[in-house]
Structure 1
Amino acid sequence: MKQYAYIRVSTKEQNIDRQILALKPYQISKKNIYCDYQSGKDFERPAYQKLMKKLKKGDLLIIKSIDRLGRNYNDILVQWQYITKELKADILVLDMELLDTRKKTGNLTGTLIADLVLQIFAYVAQTEREFICQRQSEGIAAAKQNGKKFGRPEKEMPDQFKEVCRRCELGELSTRQAAELLGVSHTTFYRRYRKIIGETVSNSRHFGTSE
């Protein structure tokens, strides 16, 4: 039997020391510790996929908490079944004593309790992720209502931008010639040119005289 550990944090800026410290009593070889710096939204993670190829029957996989395995409720259950039923390896979740498949009772009741505990914690992990996404969406919507703008600010155009746009509209310059004259990319100029033309048309309609 070999012991493996899986560690996950969402970004490289996050610290893995807490997870490493929790694994210390098990004296797992460094080559058997797999770490992903990636979101837990799915299982398409390079280190995790390498680990799955290494796990064999009777091996033990140790993780700090169920949300380190993943964040998606259904995917966690599928992976748990794959590891324990198909690969026939064991899993130990350090933060939840009941999630230790080494403790085999040999009866249906014990198996049922373990499955129920897993489903509850997998559900909590996904619900927490959904709450975070919901709070982010609500925060962005509220900020937009208050006039806050997101994304990169628009590039400041040279002083002669409007005059160059006027010459484009009169057919004196092509949009590519105009972009070169202003020293900006054609894409940037064309987008801003279309915007200012659109505003001009809108204003002329708004202030136009009726018959």
Structure 2
Amino acid sequence: MNIYGYVRVSSTDQNEDRQMVALREVPVPEKNIFVDKQSGKDFDRLSYKKLMKKLKAGDLLYVLSIDRLGRNYKEIQEQWRLLAQEKEIDICVLDMPLLDTRNGKDLMGTFIADLVLQILSFVAQSERENIKKRQAEGIAVAKAKGVKFGRPEKAVPEDFGKLIRIWEQKKISFSEVLKRCDISESTFYRRLREYRLLRDGKQG
């Protein structure tokens, strides 16, 4: 029997130390710990795929929590079935002792483990959806308050109006006015519309 551990963090700027410490305390051999740094929305992950190729019947896999396998209810259920039934390995979820396939292999034990798995999978997906909803609400509130998201737009030069006039008089080319303004074509046209609306409004 080989012992493995799987670690996942949602992005490259998140820290996996807590999961690594828990797996080392089991202990899981360092060479048998597989780490992915990407979203848990699906199972198309490089290290997870390598782990799946390594696992053999009778092996033991440790994860710190069920949502390390993923945060989608259906996918977590399918992966658990694939690991426990098709690959015939044991799985131990460290922060939920009831999710340990080594224990209670009788009918009652299996029923309890399946029930706990379904509940935790549902909770994991619900929490993910709630986080996304809170983020969307927070962004909407921030935008209503005038908070800008994304990179700040590059400012036009102080003599933008003068450059527009000489360009409109065909004294300089379009490429030349872009070069002097030092902005992209899309930004130029957006600022041009704003400038003309302001100019025409003043003239009116």
Same fold (TM over 0.5): yes
Q: Is 2:4–2:62's contact at 8 Å kept on the other side of the alignment?
A: yes
In the alignment, what sits opposite 1:100? 100
Q: Is 1:73–1:125's contact at 8 Å kept on the other side of the alignment?
A: yes
- Asked if 1:122 is matched to 2:121, the reply is yes
Q: How does 1:64-143 map to 2 (within 5 A)?
A: 64-107=64-107, 109-143=108-142
Give the gaps of 5 or more residues in structure 2.
Answer: none
Give the gaps of 5 or more residues in structure 1.
Answer: none
Write the deviation string for residues 110-161 of structure 1: whole angstroms up to 9, x where unpaired: 3222111101001111111111111110011011111222121111111121
Q: Which secondary structure state, in structure 2, belongs to the residue aligned with residue 35 of structure 1? A: strand
The aligned amino acid for 2:44 is: E
In the alignment, what sits opposite 1:54? 54
In the alignment, what sits opposite 2:19? 19
Q: Which runs of 4+ in 1 moved over 6 A?
A: none
In the alignment, what sits opposite 2:2? 2
Equivalent pairs, count: 204
| Deviates further, 182-191 or 136-145 | 182-191
Write the deviation string for residues 152-210 of structure 1: whole angstroms up to 9, x where unpaired: 11111111212222333344433212112334444543443344346656x48xx86xx
In the alignment, what sits opposite 1:63? 63
Aligned identity (percent) is 52
Q: Is 1:7–1:34's contact at 8 Å kept on the other side of the alignment?
A: yes
- Asked if 1:38 is matched to 2:38, the reply is yes
In the alignment, what sits opposite 1:196? 195
The aligned amino acid for 1:7 is: V
| Deviates further, 136-145 or 10-19 | 10-19
In the alignment, what sits opposite 2:150? 151
TM-score (ref. length: structure 1): 0.86
Task: State the 1:86 CA deviation.
Answer: 1.5
Write the deviation string for residues 26-75 of structure 1: whole angstroms up to 9, x where unpaired: 33211100111222222222111111111111111100111122111111
- Separation in 2, partners of 1:186, 1:146: 29
Question: Closer, same or farther in 2 for the Cα pair 1:15/1:163, shift >3 Å?
Answer: same
Q: Is 1:175–1:189's contact at 8 Å kept on the other side of the alignment?
A: no
TM-score (ref. length: structure 2): 0.88
- Separation in 1, partners of 2:142, 2:136: 10
The aligned amino acid for 1:41 is: K
Q: Is 2:24–2:30's contact at 8 Å kept on the other side of the alignment?
A: no
Q: Which secondary structure state, in structure 2, belongs to the residue aligned with residue 121 of structure 1? A: helix
- Separation in 2, partners of 1:169, 1:41: 52
Q: Is 1:3–1:60's contact at 8 Å kept on the other side of the alignment?
A: yes
